[in-house]
Structure 1
Amino acid sequence: MELRIFTEPQQGATYDDLLAVALAAEEHGFGAFFRSDHYLAMGDGDGLPGPTDAWTTLAGLARDTSTIRLGTLMTSATFRHPGVLAIQVAQVDQMSGGRVEIGLGAGWFVQEHEAYGIPFPSTGERFDRFEEQLAILTGLWETPSGETFSFDGKHYTLSDSPALPKPVQAPRPPVLVGGHGLRRTPALTARYADEFNLPFTLPDEHRAKYDRVRAACEEIGRDPDDLTYSSALVVCCGRDDAEIRRRAAAIGRDVDELRTNGLCGTPDEVAERIAVFAREGSQRIYLQVLDLADLDHVALLGEQVLPAVADV
C-alpha cells in the first residue's frame, strides 16, 4: 500500500505552509504530496490568508523539493483552458524532473466560481468540457515531436498545434480521474486515466465502484489492471486518546465520526483500518491532512503507519 499526503490549502495556507508539509512528507517517505484545486474556503473557516493557486504552488514545489511526486486532487476543468493547462503541467513536469501527476475533474463548487467570476455551466456541459479537456491534454502530450495536434470539439477547437512543450514523463504525466458517477466517470477513466480515485467513501462501497471502472475498461478492450485504484480519506492519528482528541478538535471533527468515515486512532488502529480498504481493492491512499501546522502528525504517520502498511 502506498500512502500519499493530501492537503486542502483553500482552508487557509501560504506557500510556505505547503512547502513545510511537502518537505516533511518527503523526509518521512511518503509517495507524493497532493493538493486540492480550490479558490474558496469551505465550511465555517475564513480561509485566511487566502487561496493559493494549485499549479503556481506546484511549480514552486517542483524546485523546492527533490524526490517526492506532486499533483492535484482534483484540478477543475472549469478553471483553465486545456491548451494552457497542458503547457502549465508540462512545464511543471520539466521543473520537477518528471515528478508531476494531474487529477482532473469537472468542477463542482459553485460558490468559488461566483466569488471569482468563473463561469459555471450546467452539470452536463461541465462533463462535456471535462471529457474534451482529457482528450486535448492527453492528445497534446502524446503527439510525437515534429507533428501537430488538432481537435474539433463542441467547446474547444485546436488547429495545427505544435503540441509543445513536451513533459519529461513519456508518453505523458499520469492522469487521475475520480468520483462517484455511475456512467460517464467510469467510461472516461477507462479511456483516459492511469488512476481511479474514490474520495471519502466507506470501505464496503469500494468494490462495486471499482468494478464499474473495471467493466468500463473491459468494454473498450483495456486491461483493468492497467489502472491504479485509490482512496482519499481524512486522517487523524495520535499516540494516545488525548492526542487523537486534540488533533480531531483542531480540525473541528468528532473522533467517533472520524473513526467511521476516515482513518482515526493510534498508529496501529490507522494501519488496521488501511488494511480494510486494501482488502476492498484500494492500492493507494491519499491521507487528507487538514492541520497544516501540525508537522508532528506527518512525522508520526511516516514513522509508524507507513512501515506498518508497506506489505498490505
Structure 2
Amino acid sequence: MRLRIFTEPQQGASYETLSSVARATEDLGFDGFFRSDHYLKMGDVSGEPGPTDAWITLAALARETSRIRLGTLMTAATFRLPGPLAVSVAQVDRMSGGRVDFGIGTGWFEEEHAAYGIPFPSLNERFERLEEQLEILTGLWGTPQGATYDFEGTHYRLAGSPALPKPARPGGPPVIIGGFGAKRTPRLAARFADEYNLPFHKIEDTEAAFGRVRKACEEAGRTKPMVYSAAQVVCCGRDEAELKRRADAIGRDVAELRENGLAGSPAELVDKIGRFAELGTECVYLQVLDLDDLNHLELLAFEVLNRL
C-alpha cells in the first residue's frame, strides 16, 4: 500500500506553503505529492492568497524534490489545449527525472470557469473533449523520435506536430482517470489509464466502481494491469481532543469524517486503509486540508504509514 499526500490549494495556499508540504512529504517517506487543478475556492473559506497553477507549481517542485511522485487529481480538460498541455507535462516529467503521474478529467466546477473566462460546455461535450485530449496526449508522447503526429477530431485538429518534447518515460507518464461514472469513465479508463482513482466514496461504493472498471477492461480485451486507488479526506489524532481540534480546523464534524473519510486514531486509519486494500486498492491519496499543520503529516507518517 502506497500513501500519497493530496492538497487543495485553491482553498488558500501560497507556493511557499505547498513547497513546505511537498518537502515534508518527501522527508517523511510518503510516496507522492499531488494537488488539485482548480482556480476558485469552494465553501466558506477565503481562498487567499488566490489560486496557484497546477503545472507551474509542479514544475517548481520537480526541482525542489528528488524522490516523490508528482501529479494532479485531476487536470481539467477544459483548462488547456491538448498540444500545449502535452508540452507542459512532458517538460515537468523531464525536470523531475520521470516522476510525474498525470491525472486528467472532464472539469466540473462551473463557477471557476465563469470566474476566469473559461468556456464550460455541456457534460457530453466535455467527455468528448476529454477522450480526444487523451488520444492526442498519448499519441504525442508515443510518437517515435523524428516522426510527426496528426489528429483530426470533432474538437481538435493537429497537423505535422513534431511531438516534442518527449517525456522521460517512453510513451509518457502514467495516466490516471477517475470518477464514479458508470459507463463512459470505465470505458475511458480501460482504454487509456494506467490507474483508476475513485475519490471520496465509501468502501462499498469503491468496490462497485472498481468492479465496473474491471468489467470494462475485460470487455475491451485489456491485458495490461490496472492500478486501483482511492482518495479520502484525512483527519488523525492521538486522542479525541486532538482529533476534534483538527476537524474543527477544517470545518468538519468528527462523526461525519469517520463515516465519509479517513478519520480517527492511527489504529482506526490503519484498519480502514486495510479494508480498502481488501478491494484491491494499491494506493490511497490522503487529502490534507490544513496545509499549515505539518505535525499532522508527521503523525500520519510515524503512526500510519510506518504500520502499513
TM-score range, shorter chain: over 0.9
Contact 1:77-1:105 at 8 Å conserved across structures:
yes
Question: Per the alignment, in what secondary structure is the counterpart of residue 37 of structure 1?
Answer: coil
SS at match of 2:243: helix
2:290 partner letter: D
Runs of 4+ in 1 over 3 A off after TM superposition: none
Q: Aligned with 1:248: secondary structure? A: helix
Which residue of the partner structure matches residue 37 of structure 2?
37
Q: Deviations over 1:152-199 (max 9, x none)?
A: 000000011110000001221000000011111000000001000000
Residue 287 of structure 1 is matched in structure 2 by 286
Deviation string 1:87-115 (CA, Å, 9 cap, x unpaired) is 00000011111101110000000000000
Which structure 1 residue ranges, 5 or more long, are not aligned?
A: none
Work out the CA distance in 1 between the residues paired with 2:240 and 2:98: 41
The answer to whether the 8 A contact 1:204-1:280 is kept is: no
Report the Cα offset of residue 280 of structure 1: 2.2
Query: Residue by residue, what CA displacement relative to the aligned partner does 1:225-267 show, whole Å, maximum 9, x if unpaired?
Result: 6110000000000111111000000000000000000001111
User: Which residue of 2 is the match for residue 6 of structure 1?
Assistant: 6
Distance in 2, matches of 1:236 and 1:29, equals: 18
SS in 2 for 1:252: coil
SS in 1 for 2:125: helix
Matched, 1:274 2:273: yes
What is the letter of the counterpart of residue 73 of structure 2?
L
Letter in 2 for 1:261: N
Moved more, 225-234 or 34-43: 225-234
Per the normalisation by structure 2, the TM-score is 0.99
1:236-255 map, 5 Å: 236-255=235-254
- Verify the 8 A CA contact 1:72 1:103 in the aligned structure 2: yes
Contact 1:39–1:53 (CA under 8 A) maintained in structure 2 = yes
CA contact (8 A) 1:146 1:162 kept: yes
- Quick check: 1:190 aligned with 2:190? yes
2: distance between equivalents of 1:108 and 1:235?
23
Q: Decide whether the 8 Å contact of 1:78 with 1:107 is kept in 2.
A: yes
2:96 alignment counterpart: 96
1:303 Cα deviation (Å)? 1.1
1: CA distance between counterparts of 2:287 and 2:76? 18
Counterpart of 2:143 in structure 1 is: 143
Please state whether the residue corresponding to 2:307 is helix, strand or coil: helix
* CA distance, structure 2, for counterparts of residue 44 and residue 169 of structure 1: 41
Instruction: Report the equivalent of 2:176.
Output: 176
Partner of 1:15: 15
Q: Which amino acid in the other structure matches residue 97 of structure 1?
A: G
How many equivalent residue pairs? 308
Stretch of structure 1 that moved more, 209-218 or 84-93? 209-218
1:230 paired residue number: 229
The 3-state SS of whatever aligns with 2:303 is helix
Counterpart CA distance in 1 for 2:78 and 2:97 is: 28
TM-aligned CA deviation for residue 307 of structure 1 = 1.6
| 1: CA distance, partners of 2:205 / 2:280 | 11
TM-score (norm 1): 0.98
Structure-2 separation of matches of 1:254 and 1:286? 20
Letter in 2 for 1:296: N
User: Any gaps of 5 or more consecutive residues in structure 2?
Assistant: none
Number of the residue aligned with 2:259 = 260
Query: What amino acid is aligned across from residue 141 of structure 1 in structure 2?
Result: W
Identity %: 64
Q: Distance in 2 between matches of 1:256 and 1:58?
A: 34
Structural RMSD (CA): 0.8
Q: Measure how far apart 1:217 and its partner are.
A: 0.9
Secondary structure in structure 2 of the residue aligned to 1:211: helix
Q: Output the CA distance in 1 between the equivalents of 2:302 and 2:231.
A: 20
Between the aligned partners of 2:97 and 2:283, the Cα distance in structure 1 is 23
- Paired AA for residue 184 in structure 2: R
Contact 1:206 1:281 in 2 (8 A): no
The amino acid across from 2:285 in the alignment is: Y
